[in-house]
């Protein structure tokens, strides 16, 4: 089954928020944001802006009727700051006018003056100043101190990963309408309708029942709309609530780039101890997360980093310290992988370093240390069904790794100025929100008297295909054609208290809830079928291919007749259901528990070519064996793997976020580069066969985030190629590995080399 939106997408007919038909009297909002990184506002004069043509009203902190607070995990972020400025681009005022242009023009007339303080941008400097988002966290497995003396080799080093812009095609957007009796209907481009609803209620001093938030679909999100869609929706709601007019707020690309948070930059220090043969004995990591100026989702992201420090490896002794550092940059936020990519990159860097030190192939070290069944993670959980070894060996065999390795070595011997590189990347990603309470979902299913079915869940469609998967689950459960099933927009009035569509759990949890709702309806319909068929009620009634079956034999009773009969007999044809992922728990005082329902495994092989004179490179081929469970939809899963891989490659190669004095320098697509069609490698994906998974709906596995990690192979394949040209000094693993940085690794002055390989 192809994606249910595909037809409309390719014809350009799909409606995104800014395409919705505009209500009469619609006003347009624009934010006025700070132009310093740290200090206090001494003058804020909105007078000239208020007199500007077309302006209806200018809002500042003083106009907020409820709490001026949008922080989710920690209440440390005002919607509009009245005094203290913590980052360049922090919202101060919101201008509402009859056109976007008029609002933007007026926003520039707001007069601001500040007392400036010294900003802090470096996470370790923030840590030295004691500037943390949450108290540092520590986690231990085994005893590293007793393990170090037993190691034959110990390497230590430093890893730096950069920020990453989400670059969803649809920028942040919201439209708020007043309904009768002072209630609001808000369309928001958010992954978290309930989060937006809760925050708007708080900001306006309303109950949550007074605010309905509705989401049709998003033009991409990638985590960037998990928390950070809220501010713009709250501003539109504030303006609509106060003026009585509908208000729309859509960020321009440049506003979106400048004002919204990105993937967190991390600095990580590692120490890895191994036996002579390459068995890992001990791993110590210190993680500095650059959180930016407010908590946003940083504590949860740090937690996922902590849970992924050992990637797909069994390491008996681990010591970990994790710091979420408050700096004067726009609050960094969720981005596909949610802190795991940084931690896993550090693990792979440490292994790369150790392989150089021991003079062993990196793949040997990887293979020797892969997770086994019952291996324990530092957070206490044991692996139930490790597919780390299975995917690793399959990838190497299926894609003829040995021959490839030989061929590349041969190529590198016979070429001086062109080198090729190779890397294998096993991955392991835990599925469930690390915050246990979020692991619940709801669904509402209606069967209409013509046999068509409408399903609503808390899931937000953002191009990832969750609606298509849910249609598939509903059709399969009811035994009817998927053409009979439609998915409603996501609304807080249809499904309440939904968790954000995030953590790769959208289809898992909402699909499971939808299936449960269908099962309730089926139970009632089976009773109706027994009455209709007059069969012995002991025999097994089924629903398949639109027909009722008895003991697996189709009868002439159709789905439509059955539904009609149920209605005539006054049987309820609607059901609401709830799903809560079973067994999860986590004890933060012990830092131990079972935070995940299961893990996703896979292995990628990455092949690159390097032009050593210029520092330019191509990513030639990526070959992947991935554990998707029993895929709910292979086309969608392939698409998710390809997209995530390319996004991961971008993070580690081209995409460089640069700030100067806290102001984003790379604030256009002329200066911020993402992979384009021509830089995409040849991708081969093999989904693991016979891969059941009892822990998710219909034995599937979550797909959204794990394949992002395959991009990590690119970095190490490039380092491999660079080493073939020139031995490298003791490594600082710094990403992104832009052509500029590659050039400097290839050609920097010789005297600075402190050679490990020569
Ligand atoms: N969001 C969240 C996430 O709130 N908690 C998580 O554990 C998570 N993991 C991945 C992506 N988003
Ligand atoms: Mo998330 S990074 O919104 O799954």
456-485 pLDDT, tens per residue?
A: 999 999 999 999 999 999 999 999 999 999
| Binding site membership of 191 for ligand 2 (Cβ less than 6 Å) | yes
Give the DSSP per-residue string, 37-55.
SSEEEEEEE-HHHHTSTTE
Rounded Cα distance, 308 and 430, in Å: 8
> Ligand 1 centre from 407 Cα, in Å?
41
> Ligand 1 centre from 428 Cα, in Å?
16
Q: What is the mean pLDDT of residues 673-695?
A: 95
- Of 177-181, 647-651, 658-662, the poorest mean pLDDT is in 177-181
pLDDT for position 728: 85
pLDDT of residue 537 exceeding 70, the answer is no
Rounded Cα distance, 600 and 386, in Å: 9
pLDDT of residue 235 exceeding 50, the answer is yes
pLDDT band with cut points at 50, 70 and 90 for residue 758: very low
pLDDT band with cut points at 50, 70 and 90 for residue 534: confident
| Binding site membership of 222 for ligand 1 (Cβ less than 6 Å) | no
pLDDT of residue 665 exceeding 80, the answer is yes
Pocket probe for ligand 1: among 230, 299, 438, the residue whose CB has the most ligand atoms within 8 Å is 438
Contact between residue 575 and residue 515 where contact means Cβ atoms under 8 Å apart: no
pLDDT for position 614: 96
Please return the burial class of 11, using the count of CB atoms within 10 Å of its CB with bins 0-12, 13-18 and 19+: exposed
Q: How many CA atoms lie within 13 A of 56 on its CB side?
A: 20
Active site residue 591: no
> Ligand 1 centre from 712 Cα, in Å?
20
% pLDDT > 70, the chain:
98
Q: What number does the ligand 1 atom closest to the CA of 304 have?
A: 7
Pocket probe for ligand 1: among 71, 224, 433, the residue whose CB has the most ligand atoms within 8 Å is 433
Token output for 346: 């550090």
pLDDT for position 181: 80
Q: Which residues pair with 57 in a beta bridge?
A: 96
Token output for 257: 């780039």
| Binding site membership of 300 for ligand 1 (Cβ less than 6 Å) | yes
* Region for 359 from its dihedrals, namely left if φ exceeds 0, alpha if ψ lies in -120 to 50, beta otherwise: left
How many residues belong to the chain? Answer: 758
Contact between residue 338 and residue 505 where contact means Cβ atoms under 8 Å apart: no
pLDDT for position 606: 98
Rounded Cα distance, 620 and 90, in Å: 41
Token output for 83: 């005094």
Rounded Cα distance, 527 and 80, in Å: 57
| Binding site membership of 68 for ligand 2 (Cβ less than 6 Å) | no
> Ligand 1 centre from 301 Cα, in Å?
7
Ligand showing the shortest atom-to-Cα distance for residue 221 = 2
Q: What number does the ligand 2 atom closest to the CA of 503 have?
A: 4
Q: What is the mean pLDDT of residues 726-745?
A: 92
Pocket probe for ligand 1: among 299, 302, 304, 464, the residue whose CB has the most ligand atoms within 8 Å is 304
Q: Whose CA is nearest to atom 3 of ligand 2?
A: 223
| Binding site membership of 334 for ligand 2 (Cβ less than 6 Å) | yes
Q: What is the mean pLDDT of residues 1-12?
A: 91
Q: Whose CA is nearest to atom 11 of ligand 1?
A: 503
Q: What number does the ligand 2 atom closest to the CA of 500 have?
A: 3
pLDDT of residue 16 exceeding 60, the answer is yes
> Ligand 1 centre from 335 Cα, in Å?
9
Q: Whose CA is nearest to atom 3 of ligand 1?
A: 503
Ligand showing the shortest atom-to-Cα distance for residue 333 = 2
> Ligand 1 centre from 507 Cα, in Å?
14
| Binding site membership of 338 for ligand 1 (Cβ less than 6 Å) | yes
Query: What pLDDT digit, counting tens, does each position of 606-619 carry?
Result: 999 999 999 999 99
Q: What is the mean pLDDT of residues 581-587?
A: 97
Rounded Cα distance, 751 and 736, in Å: 24
pLDDT of residue 757 exceeding 50, the answer is no
- Of 23-32, 98-107, 535-544, the poorest mean pLDDT is in 535-544
Annotated active-site residue in 705, 740, 751, 757: 705
Place of tokens 């093999």: 686
Contact between residue 234 and residue 199 where contact means Cβ atoms under 8 Å apart: yes
> Ligand 2 centre from 296 Cα, in Å?
13
| Binding site membership of 503 for ligand 2 (Cβ less than 6 Å) | yes
Pocket probe for ligand 1: among 228, 333, 334, 437, the residue whose CB has the most ligand atoms within 8 Å is 334
pLDDT for position 755: 44
Q: Whose CA is nearest to atom 5 of ligand 1?
A: 433
> What secondary structure letter does DSSP report for 2?
-
Q: What number does the ligand 2 atom closest to the CA of 705 have?
A: 4
> Ligand 2 centre from 182 Cα, in Å?
33
Q: List all residues 6 or more positions away from 530 whose beta carbon is below 8 Å from its beta carbon.
A: 537, 541
| Binding site membership of 503 for ligand 1 (Cβ less than 6 Å) | yes
pLDDT band with cut points at 50, 70 and 90 for residue 756: very low
| Binding site membership of 338 for ligand 2 (Cβ less than 6 Å) | yes
Which sign, positive or negative, has the C-alpha torsion 229, 496, 133, 202? positive
**Helix 511-533 vs helix 466-478: angle between axes, to the nearest 10 degrees?**
20
| Binding site membership of 218 for ligand 2 (Cβ less than 6 Å) | no
Rounded Cα distance, 558 and 564, in Å: 10
Q: How many helices (H) and strands (E) does the chain have?
A: 19, 32
Rounded Cα distance, 24 and 21, in Å: 10
> Ligand 2 centre from 719 Cα, in Å?
29
pLDDT for position 479: 98
Q: Whose CA is nearest to atom 8 of ligand 1?
A: 503
Ligand showing the shortest atom-to-Cα distance for residue 464 = 2
Query: What pLDDT digit, counting tens, does each position of 83-114 carry?
Result: 999 999 999 999 999 999 999 999 999 999 99
pLDDT for position 249: 98
| Binding site membership of 304 for ligand 1 (Cβ less than 6 Å) | yes
- Of 197-206, 276-285, 749-758, the poorest mean pLDDT is in 749-758
| Binding site membership of 223 for ligand 2 (Cβ less than 6 Å) | yes
Contact between residue 168 and residue 225 where contact means Cβ atoms under 8 Å apart: yes
pLDDT for position 750: 57
pLDDT for position 590: 97
| Binding site membership of 336 for ligand 2 (Cβ less than 6 Å) | yes
Query: What pLDDT digit, counting tens, does each position of 414-434 carry?
Result: 999 999 999 999 999 999 999
Query: Which of 449, 481, 618, 480 is CA-nearest to residue 542?
Result: 480
Q: What is the mean pLDDT of residues 144-152?
A: 98
Contact between residue 510 and residue 458 where contact means Cβ atoms under 8 Å apart: yes
Q: Whose CA is nearest to atom 6 of ligand 1?
A: 433
Query: Which of 425, 162, 349, 364 is CA-nearest to residue 731?
Result: 349
What is the β-pairing status of strands 184-188 and 211-215?
parallel
pLDDT for position 536: 63
Pocket probe for ligand 1: among 222, 333, 340, 434, the residue whose CB has the most ligand atoms within 8 Å is 434
The alpha carbon of 430 is separated from its chain's Cα centroid by a whole number of angstroms, namely 13
> Ligand 2 centre from 227 Cα, in Å?
9
> Ligand 2 centre from 302 Cα, in Å?
13
């Amino acid at each position: 089954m192809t994606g249910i939106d595909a037809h409309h997408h390719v014809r350009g007919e799909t409606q995104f928020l800014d395409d919705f038909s505009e209500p009469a009297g619609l006003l347009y909002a624009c934010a006025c944001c700070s132009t310093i990184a740290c200090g206090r506002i001494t003058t804020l004069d909105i007078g000239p802006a208020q007199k500007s043509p077309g302006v209806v009203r200018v809002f500042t902190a003083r106009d907020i009727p409820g709490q001026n607070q949008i922080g989710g995990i920690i209440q440390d972020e005002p919607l509009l700051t009245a005094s203290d400025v913590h980052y360049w681009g922090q919202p101060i005022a919101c201008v509402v006018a009859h056109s976007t242009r008029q609002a933007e023009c007026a926003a520039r007339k707001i007069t601001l003056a500040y007392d400036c303080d010294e900003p802090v941008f470096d996470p370790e400097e923030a840590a030295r100043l004691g500037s943390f988002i949450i108290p540092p966290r520590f986690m231990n497995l085994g005893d590293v101190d007793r393990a170090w003396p037993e190691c034959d080799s110990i390497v230590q080093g430093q890893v730096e990963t950069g920020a990453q812009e989400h670059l969803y095609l649809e920028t942040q957007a919201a439209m708020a309408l007043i309904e009768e009796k002072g209630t609001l209907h808000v369309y928001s481009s958010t992954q978290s309708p309930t989060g937006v609803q809760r925050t708007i209620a708080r900001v306006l001093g309303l109950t949550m029942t007074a605010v309905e938030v509705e989401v049709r679909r998003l033009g991409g999100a990638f985590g960037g709309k998990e928390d950070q869609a809220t501010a713009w929706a709250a501003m539109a709601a504030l303006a609509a609530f106060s003026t009585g007019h509908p208000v729309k707020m859509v960020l321009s690309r440049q506003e979106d780039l400048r004002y919204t948070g990105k993937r967190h930059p991390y600095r990580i220090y590692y120490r890895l101890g191994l036996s002579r043969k390459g068995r890992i004995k001990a791993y110590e990591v210190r993680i500095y997360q650059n959180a930016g100026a407010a908590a946003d989702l940083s504590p949860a992201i740090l937690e996922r980093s902590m849970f992924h420090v050992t990637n797909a490896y069994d390491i008996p002794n681990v010591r970990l310290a994790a710091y979420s550092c408050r700096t004067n940059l726009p609050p960094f936020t969720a981005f596909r992988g949610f802190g795991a990519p940084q931690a896993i990159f550090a693990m792979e860097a440490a292994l790369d370093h150790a392989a150089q030190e021991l003079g062993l192939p990196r793949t040997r070290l990887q293979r020797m240390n892969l997770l086994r069944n019952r291996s324990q993670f530092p957070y206490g959980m044991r692996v139930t069904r490790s597919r780390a070894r299975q995917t690793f060996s399959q990838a190497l065999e299926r894609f003829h790794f040995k021959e490839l390795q030989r061929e590349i070595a041969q190529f590198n011997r016979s070429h001086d100025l062109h080198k090729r590189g190779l890397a294998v990347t096993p991955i392991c990603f835990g599925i469930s929100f690390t915050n246990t309470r979020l692991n619940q979902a709801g669904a509402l299913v209606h069967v209409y008297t013509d046999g068509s079915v409408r399903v609503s869940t808390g899931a937000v469609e953002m191009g990832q295909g969750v609606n298509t998967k849910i249609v598939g689950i509903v059709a399969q459960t009811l035994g009817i054609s998927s053409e009979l099933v439609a998915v409603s927009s996501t609304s807080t009035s249809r499904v309440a208290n939904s968790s954000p569509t995030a953590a790769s759990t959208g289809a898992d949890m909402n699909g499971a809830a939808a299936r449960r709702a269908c099962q309730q309806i089926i139970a009632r319909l089976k009773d109706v079928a027994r009455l209709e068929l007059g069969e012995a009620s002991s025999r097994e009634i089924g629903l398949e291919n639109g027909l009722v079956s008895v003991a697996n034999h189709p009868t002439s009773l159709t789905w439509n007749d059955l539904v009609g009969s149920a209605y005539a007999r006054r049987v309820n044809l609607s059901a609401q259901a709830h799903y809560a992922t079973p067994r999860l728990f986590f004890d933060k005082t012990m830092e131990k528990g079972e935070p995940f329902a299961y893990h996703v495994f896979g292995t990628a092989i990455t092949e690159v070519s390097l032009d050593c004179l210029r520092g330019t490179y191509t990513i030639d081929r990526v070959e992947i064996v991935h554990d998707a469970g029993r895929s709910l939809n292979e086309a969608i899963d392939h698409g998710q793997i390809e997209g995530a891989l390319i996004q991961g490659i971008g993070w580690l190669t081209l995409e460089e976020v640069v700030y100067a004095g806290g102001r984003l320098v790379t604030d256009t697509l002329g200066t911020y580069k993402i992979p384009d069609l021509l830089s995409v490698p040849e991708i081969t994906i093999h989904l693991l066969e016979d891969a059941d998974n009892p822990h998710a709906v219909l034995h599937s596995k979550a797909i959204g985030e794990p394949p992002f990690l395959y991009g990590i192979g690119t970095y190490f394949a490039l380092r491999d190629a660079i080493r073939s040209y020139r031995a490298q000094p003791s490594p600082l693993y710094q990403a992104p590995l832009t052509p500029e940085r590659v050039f400097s690794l290839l050609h920097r002055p010789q005297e600075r080399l402190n050679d490990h390989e020569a």
